[in-house]
Amino acid sequence: MKLRMIAATAAATIAWTSPVAAENAATLDLMPVPRSTELGAGAYIVGADFSVAVEGAGATDRLRAGVGRMLRRLSDHTSLFFQPATFLDLSARDGVSMTVSAARGGAVELGEDESYTLTVTAEGVRLEAVTDIGALRGLQTLLQLVTLDERGITVPAVEITDAPRFPWRGLMIDSSRHFMPVDVVKRNLDGMAAVKLNVMHWHLADDQGFRVECLAFPKLHQMGSDGRYYTRHQIREVIAFAAERGIRVMPEFDLPGHATSWVVGYPELASQPGPYEIERGWGIFKPTVDPTREETYQFLDTFFGEMAELFDDDFLHIGGDENTGEHWNDNAEIREFMEENGYADTHELQQYFSQRMQTILEGHGKRMVGWDEILQPELPTSIVIQSWRGREALYEAAGRGYSGILSNGYYIDLIQPTDFHYLNDPLPEDAPISAEAAKRVLGGEATMWAEFVNPETVDSRIWPRTAAIAERFWSPRHVRDVDDMYRRLDRVSLRLEGLGLQHERNQRMMLRRLCQCRDVDALEVFLGTVEPVKIYNRGQQRKHTSFSPLTRAVDAARPDASPARRFRQAIDGLIDGGFHDTDLLEEARSWLRLWQENHAALEEIFRSSPALSEVESLSRDVSEISLSGLAALEILADGETASRDWLRPRLDRLRAAKEPRGQLELMIVEPVKRLLCVAVGEKGSDEPGCRADESMAEAAPSHRPRCLGLACRGRYRGSGL
């Protein structure tokens, strides 16, 4: 009963919307925060007679379809029975509730105008934009403004003037390592549109799979995909679906490394003789295409000619990262080519390859995009650098005249918390870059690498954190209030679920499967204390392949676990405030009591569920360290001080609890440690584990990847090796 009450309380805190509070009037529940928001008096009341007219030369089929989707969502959310004419008759006429006006149809291309102005009064709604794409962005803002309260269904009176900060706001979806069916891609495109992202970077070829039908070279998809690839019709379907939402689709075909799936069917492309098989594991592998043979470039010219016709975006990504160069060095003919042409190493040989690729793509009307490794002075400044190395590398490229986008700090597969991504800015105020070079920083992309996700779990790794990243790319630089971001993110998350995204609902389904039971409340409480291990530790702790199950507790757990985060915030507030805030004190007690009692509710499930046995000891640790936390709270609330003898065994217990199991780590260890140390007072400040420069994470055994920093090369950086 207690678990259900807490679940109900948590649900109440993340309702779709809430009455507008005065202290939050500037941002309301909008994400991304608009450029300018002026809140007026009163509100527009939405009723069953709500109607929309679309006007202007930009009244395109795309805009009409967008208005139709907006009406459908509004009707579904509010349960209002709109008349059929509301959906079907969008012509200009008298007496409509809302007018949408666009001056022209927009192009789905970099730099298109996405600005809009949204005005809401008690009499009605007006949305104006230069392009139909800008109007689509405004429709998403309107949907976020809809409020259900005691007045009914309302939209607050407001005037919003909005435009994006950066023109390139992307999400990369990796369909190579684990194939993502079309419906998965489409629902994530809907999520992208809801938070005003405008580029889907589609990673379609890597060592584990070649995912596009190719007419010229059919063995690419026939032999390199295990039969899991997109037909040309499906590719066009996704591109059209994205374009309807004002989203570009940029494909990536990784070369010259990450090339195993290329050479399975065409071993003559490779730098070493075959045969080759699709790679089933994760890591950096040796197969590379041979950059010294003219036949390689003839093949690639034909291939990219076909892809240039299929994908209509101006940009095409060639990857260019993580080439070990080993197969080049082991080939006598390639070494001879390097010597004849004066190439000192394989890096210089890759520069030659990149130059040839740029010429090929330019010949097919495409601008080349690649990871940091492709940057070289010989390439024209028309190319775009996607930086995994960081802002310094991005600024260096911009200073040399190259446009770039930032992905360092936005690797959402690394399970880092939302605020880490949110505070990572492509162009912070103190960026050491000239105003002219800053114009060449186009924006950024969140990257969803797919080693450890499948169609069932990928949404939970993308959302809702990517909504906060989208705000960083869209909103003004000064929008950085982390607490308000989390407040709004809770609401946005449920809106995204309403679009069909599965990040919220799949967890309980996965838990039911794990325990073969219906009541998963206690399991859900447990998962609120843990998160999957971060950075590249999952690949270090257990070997995975493309056939490994992604159905375990670690897969049901979510990044940035909200209960653990809220507990940490409560403890921080108590310590900072001297334990005088009774509300925070009771909140901290409630969490600790819940967690202390929860293991008993799980014991029977652990006995009957072998798949959960790997995390049973974590659940026991949660109970035991919560008991220590409760004891520390009572000592502090009573104004007393604990002894060192009381502290030491409890710190030892925390160190042991910090050890990951089942590729999960406890997220409540650090705040409980802080409680224990404060309970001992100043005399405990020099105790091992309590020192100001020592964290419990440092005291625990290390699970770092074997390679660190640039030595790990590119975006993959050694995971699973």
- Distance in angstroms (rounded) separating the CA atoms of residues 403 and 167: 12
At 349 the three-state DSSP class reads helix
Distance between start and end Cα atoms, the chain: 46
Phi, psi dihedral angles at 559 (to 5 degrees): -65, 150
Q: Are strands 664-666 and 530-532 parallel, antiparallel or unpaired?
A: antiparallel
Catalytic residues: 322
Q: How far is CA 104 from the centre of its chain?
A: 32
Is-contact 693 711, C-beta < 8 A? no
Residues ≥6 apart with Cβ < 8 Å to 75 = 81, 82
Neighbour tally for 40: CB within 10 Å: 13
Q: Which of 280, 272, 174 is nearest to 224 (CA)?
A: 280
Retrieve residue 334's tokens: 């390639």
Residue whose tokens read 């705000």: 471
Which residues are CB-neighbours of 269 under 8 A, at least 6 positions away? 259, 262, 263, 289, 290, 296, 299
Phi, psi of 309 (to 5 degrees): -75, -35
Helix (H) / strand (E) containing 347: helix 346-363
Phi/psi for 580 (5° steps) reads -100, -10
In 3D space, the residue among 199, 239, 200 whose CA is nearest the CA of residue 114 turns out to be 199
DSSP-assigned letter for residue 372: G
Phi/psi region, residue 21 (left: phi>0; alpha: psi -120 to 50; beta: rest), is: beta
SS3 annotation, 678-696: HHHCHHHCCCCCCCCCCCH
Q: What is the distance between the alpha carbons of residues 65 and 99, in angstroms, rounded to a whole number?
A: 15
Closest CA to 71 of 48, 92, 42, 44: 48
Burial of residue 282 (number of CB atoms within 10 Å: 0-12, 13-18, 19+): buried
Residue whose structure tokens are 């009692």 = 597
Distances in whole angstroms, Cα of residue 16 to Cα of each of 144, 319, 418: 9, 40, 20
Tokens of 352: 């030659």
628 touches 588 (CB < 8 A):
no
- Interatomic CA distance for residues 678 and 398, integer angstroms: 48
